[in-house]
Amino acid sequence: MLFPLILAATALATPPLAGSYYQGDGLGVNWRLELRADGAFLFRWEGCMGTYDEKSGTWRLADGVVRLSVAKQTPNGMPESLALALVPVAWGSRVYLADPDEPQEFCNLINGGTEPRDNAHGLVFLREGDWKRPVKGRPQLPPALPCALLPSPVRGAVTRVINPKRVLVNRGSKHGLRPGMLLYLQGSAFVSYRIVLVTSSTCEAEVTFEDNHAEPGRVSTLLFDSALQPRRRQ
């Protein structure tokens, strides 16, 4: 029986935070956040068409959360591009900044196998250059980021397509699943499901993208699960 590794309510040491952080795909989303040692911050969003947004102001650490106070921003920028509260997460010598309003998203990246990443591109702020630093085990999750890490991948199958957007999967809480986690359809076009309802042995999940439709098949908490890929003929 697998259970999520839910953080213990213990105080964790906060790593030094001043530095530059990156989040993005290298194409339309390139977010750079600089936390200066003097308490100032700078943020810039650059993409295929140039600079989309810039913000600057001050930052402070309070109760384990980095609080950003915007003093100046691009008049026609993206007002909600940058979360104004970020939780520092130490993973070995790496430092991440995760959004506490969507805590499970950080753990989903780890459960899905896209973190720890080995290059700049990713869906969470990581201190510049830290992607070159190897890590072992699991990160220390601070109390301000209550998400669940799985000790190993959970694999199952869609047993029923409830409607074009929702499916029933034959895995549930006794396997470690909880609402907010992601399941990925394997061996097909990219389709992901977000778990919305969990029983002991089953869960219901909805497609995460509007253009996707629910499909049957094998699913895993890993984005690409080699154990569930079709074997090639020799």
The verdict on pTM exceeding 0.85 is yes
pLDDT band of 13, cuts 50, 70, 90: low
Helix intervals (H) in 47-203: 103-111
Residue % of the chain over a pLDDT of 70: 91
pLDDT at 84 over 70: yes
**Coil, strand or helix at 105:** helix
Express the helix, strand and coil content of the chain in percent, nearest 5 each. 10, 40, 50
As a whole number of angstroms, the distance between CA 151 and CA 157 comes to: 20
pLDDT at 29 over 70: yes
Q: Topology of 155-227 in CATH?
A: Thrombin, subunit H (2.40.10)
pLDDT at 200 over 70: yes
In the chain, residues under CATH classification 2.40.10.340 are 155-227
pLDDT digits (tens, 9 = 90+) for 201-230: 999 999 999 888 999 999 999 999 999 876
